[in-house]
Chain A
Amino acid sequence: MSAVSKLDVGRPVRTGANLTPMIDMTFLLVVFFVLVSRITAVEQVPMELPVPRDPAAGAADEAPRIVVNLVHDELADRRRATLEQRDFDLDVAGIASLESEVRRRLLETPELQVNLRADRRLPYQTVSPVLEALGRSGRGTGRPDGVRVNLVVIDESLAAREEDA
């Protein structure tokens, strides 16, 4: 940036913008979005969630939670549950392992809730053992009402409004 000084005609005045704060903020924004998108990618595995008509579901509350994902795969023997970045086979050993992992986390965080994201194309016989394992995972954690599980669905009207916004 340059200008001509009115005080000393003929000599250009060197002006400069201090860009340091802007660069600081830009870096902060970049770090924020990188971190959030990584957390989101771990929790929200792409899948086709159930889309009930006129859903009576509500927004999740702010309680601490873990997310169990059940992704659809055409091959039944490749179906797995994921908890954060760990895979659990949907056989007897894998479900027992998932149960003990959820129990460990319930003991660490008493108010923990479990969000279950399951692909709508999965047969119920695939989801049912996971629901039962989540129920058993509360055993020994001192929860008289059992484990709080949140079934995640898509509200199409809400999704359309959010995308418009």
Chain B
Amino acid sequence: MSHRRRPSTATGRLEKAKVELNLTPMIDVVFQLLIYFLLGTSFAVGEQTFRLDVPDRGESFDIDPFELDVTPVVVQVAGGGRIRVDGPWEGPIHVDALTAFLETRRVDRGGLLPLDTPVHIDPRPDVDWGEAVEAFNAAVRAGFDSVGFIDTSSGSGP
């Protein structure tokens, strides 16, 4: 708060003092609050995303004739946590064991599967989306780079 005394008049009497509030600090604080809310407000509480590349297999593209096909790992999701991993192995039967199973098959962990081996999640049509995503998450957690959902129209992967 500031008090300003005006110069004395010809009669020698002081004019009425003018009292003001200095609002600058308040405006500063309001700006700080605005910036805080701008940066700190998250309206998507806890939302995270999985990256999923969805190429269109119907579109023509150049194929290297000397490139060998990579056999994907197909994980069938049957619902109720039950899964089946196609291939020449004794695969897990529950989604909880999928991450550990795939990790032991990685080439850098003594297995035979390179990290770019496609992993195709193949849920049954009546399986809940939540369960399909659970299997997808288990495969991503195992460290494979190319995890996707099987293309039901063509039977191929992502």
What's the tally of chain A residues with a CB closer than 8 Å to chain B? 71
Q: From residue 46 to 90 of chain A, which have CB atoms closer than 8 A to chain B?
A: 49-60
When the two chains form their complex, are residues A17 and B50 in contact, meaning their CB atoms are under 8 A apart? no
When the two chains form their complex, are residues A153 and B23 in contact, meaning their CB atoms are under 8 A apart? no
Binding site for B on A (CB under 8 A): 3, 5, 7-8, 11, 13, 15-18, 21-22, 25, 28-29, 32, 36-37, 40, 44, 49-60, 115-116, 118-128, 131-132, 134-136, 138-140, 144-156, 158-160, 162-163
Given A139-B59, A146-B55, A162-B42, are A122 and B129 neighbors across the interface (CB < 8 Å)?
yes
Given contacts A22-B27, A25-B27, A132-B153, 20 further A-B contacts (CB under 8 A): A8-B16, A13-B17, A17-B21, A18-B20, A25-B34, A28-B34, A40-B44, A52-B133, A121-B128, A135-B54, A135-B151, A138-B56, A139-B58, A146-B55, A147-B55, A150-B49, A151-B50, A151-B136, A153-B48, A155-B48
Give bound CA distance, A116 to B17, whole Å. 66
When the two chains form their complex, are residues B5 and A146 in contact, meaning their CB atoms are under 8 A apart? no
Does B152 lie at the interface of the complex (its beta carbon under 8 Å from any beta carbon of A)?
yes
When the two chains form their complex, are residues B126 and A57 in contact, meaning their CB atoms are under 8 A apart? no
**Closest beta carbon of chain B to A89's beta carbon, Å:** 18
Size class of B's contact patch? 35 or more
Q: Of all chain B residues, which has the CB nearest A159?
A: B46
When the two chains form their complex, are residues B48 and A118 in contact, meaning their CB atoms are under 8 A apart? no
**19 pairs across A/B with beta carbons < 8 Å?**
A3-B19, A8-B16, A21-B27, A40-B43, A51-B130, A52-B133, A54-B141, A60-B47, A116-B52, A124-B128, A132-B153, A135-B158, A138-B59, A139-B58, A139-B59, A140-B59, A145-B55, A146-B53, A149-B54
